[in-house]
Amino acid sequence: MLEVQDINVYYGAIHALKGVSLEVKEGEIVSLIGANGAGKSTILKTLSGLLKPRSGAIQFMGKAIAGLPAQEIVKMGISHCPEGRRVFANMTVEENLELGAYLRKDNEIKSDLEKVYQRFPRLLERRKQLAGTLSGGEQQMLAIGRALMSRPKLLLLDEPSMGLAPLLVQEIFRIIQEINKGGTTVLLVEQNANQALKIAHRAYVLETGKIVLSGSAQELAESDDIRKAYLGA
């Protein structure tokens, strides 16, 4: 579904991604793990068109997408749920969700809104509440719900568990798994490698802008190097 070939991404003089290649197959949950600053968010931003690679190629469903405008990429079926949630604080829950469908022209938006409310009953209770007044966990649910409103084929999730209490972390990972079982492919960036490897099919490990390891999530979870570096073993 997604194939990234040897991309190089810079922030000015900073070489943030150094020849990164990876692939995501339809139906998978693939996790990107790595320390702070390794380049995980940069990969997602490049895939969603917020950054342009200086070289390399990105193919999504057989089409070259590197450097396309972000709204074109959303229309093709990639939705990015950014780090820190970035909900529109002064708009209601429902307005935030409707904005997720901004580029759609079909007439199933209302029924998708109902589906998001079924998945996140908390958002239904709070549909008229300003998003800025939601708790951290509720904002994360809203950010995921908003991303789903574009009907993505591939959902990019950046640190969905960040800052959440342990029970909510479990809940968010359970919801990600459900979304995946419903047919959405997921590329998941996580600091919480333990949890991410529990729900992912495969994973890539990133260190200072390079992929240093990849494999099935189970293989990586059992590897001594990974356990020492990322799983606190």
Q: Give the whole-angstrom CA distance, residue 130 versus residue 230.
A: 37
Spatial distance between the Cα atoms of 158 and 186, rounded to a whole number of angstroms: 11
* Residue 34 interacts with ligand ATP (CB under 6 A): yes or no: yes
Q: Which is nearer to ligand ATP, 36 or 90 (CB)?
A: 36
For 126-195, give the secondary structure using H, E and C.
CCCCEHHHCCHHHHHHHHHHHHHCCCCCEEEEECCCCCCCHHHHHHHHHHHHHHHHCCCEEEEEECCHHH
Q: What amino acid occupies position 219?
A: E
Is residue 13 a contact point for ligand ATP (CB under 6 A)?
A: no
192 binds ligand ATP (CB under 6 A): no
142 binds ligand ATP (CB under 6 A): no
Report the site for ligand ATP in 83-102 (rule: CB under 6 A).
83
DSSP 62-101: TEE-TT--HHHHHHHTEEEE-TT----TTSBHHHHHHHHT
Which of positions 66-85 make contact with ligand ATP (CB under 6 A)? 83
> Rule CB under 6 A: is residue 38 a binding residue for ligand ATP?
yes
Beta bridge partners of 23: 3
What is the closest distance, in whole angstroms, from the C-beta atom of residue 37 to ligand ATP in the complex? 4
Least CB distance to ligand ATP at residue 183 (A): 27
> Which range binds ligand ATP by CB under 6 A, 32-40, 56-64, 95-103, 211-219?
32-40
- Contact flag: residue 39 with ligand ATP (CB under 6 A): yes
Which residues form the interface with ligand ATP (CB under 6 A)?
11, 14, 16, 34, 36-42, 83, 191
